[in-house]
Amino acid sequence: MNRARQIGSAVRTASKRTPWRSDCYPQALTARTLLRLARVPHTVTFGVRRDDAGELRAHAWVSAGRVAVTGGSGQSWVGVGSFAWSPRRS
């Protein structure tokens, strides 16, 4: 899972340096691509919650086992969909 932590760190660092908005969704897609290339099993989850004004907010996060790769743990969000990937065994 060290590789997952490294990928998460690289994605967060890169997201601070892009000339465009790199919030949770592009970070999740980037992390997913890098994790797949590194053949690290992972799950991308999409969730929602209401903010203090009652507005619906959306969030995406990626985990690899118990490692929160991007987007945090997602604990305060209600998951509405997730996609898991793991390498095929030959």
Q: 61-73: per-residue pLDDT in tens?
A: 999 999 999 999 8
- Amino acid found at 10: A
Q: Please say if the pLDDT value at position 4 is more than 90.
A: yes
Query: Rounded mean pLDDT of 31-46?
Result: 98
Q: Please say if the pLDDT value at position 89 is more than 80.
A: no
Edge-to-edge, what's the strand order for the sheet holding 67-70? 67-70, 56-64, 42-50, 78-85
The structural domain count of the chain equals: 1
Query: Rounded mean pLDDT of 2-16?
Result: 96
Task: Determine the structural domain holding residue 53 and report its residue range.
Answer: 2-85
- 7 domain-assigned: yes
- 90 domain-assigned: no
Comparing CA positions, the residue from 15, 2, 17 lying closest to residue 70 is: 15
Question: Are the C-beta atoms of 61 and 71 separated by less than 8 Å?
Answer: yes
Report the alpha-carbon distance of residue 8 to residue 68 in Å, rounded: 8
- Amino acid found at 45: T
pLDDT at 28: 98
- 75 domain-assigned: yes
